[in-house]
Amino acid sequence: MGWTISNNYLSESQMQGNALEVYKYFSSKGWTLNAIGGILGNMEKESNINPGLWQSLKYGNYSGGYGLVQWTPATNYTNWANSNGYSITDPNGQLYWIDALSASTGQWIATSSYNFSWSAFKISGQSPEYLASAFLKNFERAGVEVESARRTAARKWYDYLKQYAGGSEVIEKAVNWAVRIANDNSHGYDQTHRDGPDYDCSSLISWAYYNAGLNTRPGYTPSTSTMYKVFTSAGFVDVTSQANLSSGSGLVKGDVLLKPGSHTEMYIGNSQLVGASQNENGGVTGGKTGDQTGKEIHVHGYYNFPWQYVLRYPGGGGGTTPTTVYIEKWIPG
């Protein structure tokens, strides 16, 4: 598959190819599949998920709509693209604008019915139908809403893209494994015997994702000093800029919080972390096997260690996939 870009309406198979590219981009930024389904339901009704589409196929009509979300007038997007080195047909420029600039440009305006921020939309676990309506009301503000059709399309794209969203299953397995270890007092903290039955902070998180199917133990169990390289090589994305580490807002289930050379824990949702900290003697080695205090490995409330990085396993997994572009008709920028 890959991008199809033209000033034409697309076939279903062409839309599927473009929808997959949208999914790969947004999931790498930490969006939930629910939010991606919601925005794709709108994109289908706005542009056939076609970055090159002009409103009513009127090529070059800058007073009309243009692009994936039909910016209206088109200059709301094209002026920015031209000023920032993007051809107006480049889908990466359009997706960047949507992800990074929707709030700061004032395009996203929370309504009373959908009173939440753009950052909250991107990580929402609400249904694709609900998020399709939220995007319609807070972003598109379309003259012709066809809200029911957008909601139906959102569910269609959510269901279609689930085949590529193995990341959510991986995250669930990793979180469940780590919580199970924390709740089983036969496992405690120890750096010397860190590969089971005891674990230290980095081995707990590395084993959790390794048991979920990722290569987070590439022939060895990394320490916090090497975790960043190992985890990004295994498909994790650095999303530190998307989180408020003081409060924990912006974190999503499965995020790995890391301070290299010092400590790491996993965010498991609901403002909670799971992690391994120290043995019953307050040290890092020695002590008895197992958790003697109930807190050597445990679930607890969020706190800022302080953390330096937030690493997130995206929905599709496997790191960044190169984008292939098929252009039926090139539209000059």
Q: Are 188 and 203 in contact (CB under 8 A)?
A: no
> What's the CA gap between 201 and 254, in Å, rounded?
15
Q: Is the peptide bond before 73 cis (omega within 30 degrees of 0)?
A: yes
Query: Which pLDDT does position 320 carry in this prediction?
Result: 29
Question: pLDDT tens across 191-246, in order?
Answer: 999 999 999 999 999 999 999 999 999 999 999 999 999 999 998 889 898 899 99
DSSP β-bridge partners for residue 272: 269, 301
Give the number of residues written for the chain. Answer: 333
Helix axis angle, 12-28 to 33-47, nearest 10°: 140
DSSP β-bridge partners for residue 229: none
Lowest mean pLDDT among 87-91, 180-184, 309-313, 317-321: 317-321
Closest C-alpha to 266, from 331, 173, 330? 173
Higher pLDDT, 28 or 212: 212
Query: Which pLDDT does position 204 carry in this prediction?
Result: 98
